Structures are given as structure tokens and as C-alpha cells.
Amino acid sequence: MDSLQLLSRIRNIPLVSARLVEGFLSGNYRSVFKGPGLEFDEVREYSTGDDVRSIDWNVTSRMGSPYVKTFREEREMALLLMIDVSASLQTGSGTYRKADTAAIISALLAHSAVHNNDRVGAVFFSDRIEKWVPPMKGRNHLMRLVQDMASIEPKGRGSDLSCAIACVEQSMKRRGICILVSDFRIPPAYRQMSMLARKHDLIAVKITDPADRKVPETGLMEVQDPESGMIIKSFGFSPGYRKDYEDFWLADHIFWQRECRRRGIDSMVIDTEDDPARALLSFFRRRKGK
């Protein structure tokens, strides 16, 4: 699928998203994503019925009469999409490549955020930061973001998560929602991820491909890793080879799931075969149920 096709598909998302949002997300978006909670608003004089715990002792002593801090619930949240655009996502054995699924799911999330009048930003990363879109509000911003998702042409081939995390940590001072969309064909960076998860609400979305779980039976071919350029002979006709290959990725996947769980990172797996909207819905449902 080229970028034009992808763009048209993503442009259609408002319809899907509208249904999603109206049917489910509108009332639940907040409950799905933990907001930062209360935000300091002002100090006012104490009146009866106020919680004594909210008395601001500094001001009270200065002014001589009791003052209390008031808070308001933060209405606006920043949603930051961390989108992996490394070369490994430019593969896929089915109708969509991983990059397509990543773009669609990111666009869906962006739509939902905008619909809830939240700010949405994105960082596209490969082995470097390809593009940084600061969180902003509004439909125009959304359109630009979606355009970027469909048409970004990464300069780097590899994927370096830690540099993307460092970038997010620097630019997102206040608590927000971070959604990391990647195939996790990256060097392990779980320590940085758990650091990020402490500051922000981090959700890891892993894009998988059916060919990694079930290798198609093929003849001999030479296969090249798009990131490292490594070449191996693929003996798709050999059951032993297929089993080895499937086991390799299964082990990797299990490790990833365990690490995420251990570090309290919420994770979601989506296959290129899956319908992204449906997958997202069920994920939200699961998360809400927690």
C-alpha cells in the first residue's frame, strides 16, 4: 500500500472514529486514560466544610487567617504518540505492512484525542528522531499529523527507542499519555521504558505479522533484514527451519510480554491481519475493566 492509499484510508477514519468515539469512547476516554488528576488552581479563605487537609499553611501563617488551596480537575490532557518508522515496519506478509497498521492505529488514537479536545503530538523515530510534532489541539493540527503519518519518509533504517524516550522526557514536562507504537524489533530499552512509565501513562502497542508465527511454506530464497542488511538463506520448505524461526520470534514475544508486565507497562498486541479499530476497542474495554 503506497502512501496515497494509506492516506485515503486514514482520512476515512473520522467516520470510524466517530462511531468509536460516540459509541464508546466519548464517555470513557477519561476513564480509559488516567489523567494527571487534580491541578492546582488558587488559594482562597477557609470556609466551613473545607477539608482541613487542604489548608495551605504557608499562606495561612503569612496572612494570619486560614487559607486553603483549591484544585480543579485537569480537563486537557496531552496524548503523545511515539511511532516507530524504522525499516522493519516496511515489511509484512499480508495485505498490510506493519507501518500501515501502525499509522492507522496512531491515526485512530489521534482522532479520539482530538474529539475529546485533548492535545495530541507525535514523535516519529527510527535510529534517530525523524520528526517531532508538539502536542496541540484542533482539527487542522490533526489533519497535518495524519498527513505526516502517511507520508513520512524515514532517513534512518534502524530503530532506537531510548533516544525517542529521551526526547519525550525532555519535552513532556507534565504528565501525559504516551503510546508507543512499534514492532519492537529494537534493542531492548525496558529500563528507559519503566522510567517513562513512572512519569507518564505509557502504553506499548506491538505490531506483529502472521508470518512470524506461522512461516509460509516456500522454496529456497535469500532473505535480507531491511534494517541491518543481514542476509540469510530461508529454507521455507524445511519443517525444522520453520519451527526454529517461529520459536525464535515466540521467545522474543514472550520476553517482551513478561518485561512489560513486570515493569507495569500496559501492552497491546495488534496483528497486521487484525482490524485496528476493533483491536483498539477491545483493548479499551479490557483496560476499562481493570
Contact 216, 278 (CB under 8 A): no
Amino acid at position 241, single letter: Y
- Among positions 157-196, residues that touch another protein (CB under 8 A) are 158-160, 183-188
Of the pair 12, 218, the CB lying nearest another protein is at 218
153 binds another protein (CB under 8 A): no
- The stretch near another protein (CB under 8 A) out of 70-78, 114-122, 129-137, 217-225 is 217-225
66 binds another protein (CB under 8 A): no
Strands 177-182 and 201-208: parallel
111 binds another protein (CB under 8 A): no
**Binding string, residues 2-21; x marks residues near another protein by CB under 8 A:** x-------------------
- The stretch near another protein (CB under 8 A) out of 49-57, 61-69, 96-104, 263-271 is 96-104
Question: What is the C-alpha separation between 166 and 155, in angstroms, rounded?
Answer: 19
31 binds another protein (CB under 8 A): no
Of the pair 54, 151, the CB lying nearest another protein is at 151
- Among positions 74-93, residues that touch another protein (CB under 8 A) are 86, 88, 90-93
**Binding string, residues 114-143; x marks residues near another protein by CB under 8 A:** -------------x----------------
Tell me the closest approach of the beta carbon of residue 218 to another protein, in angstroms. Answer: 4
Tell me the closest approach of the beta carbon of residue 89 to another protein, in angstroms. Answer: 8
Q: Which listed residue (231, 262, 264, 286) binds another protein by CB under 8 A? A: 231
Which residues of the chain form contacts with another protein (CB under 8 A)?
A: 1-2, 86, 88, 90-97, 100, 127, 158-160, 183-188, 211, 216, 218-238, 240-241, 244-245, 248-249, 252
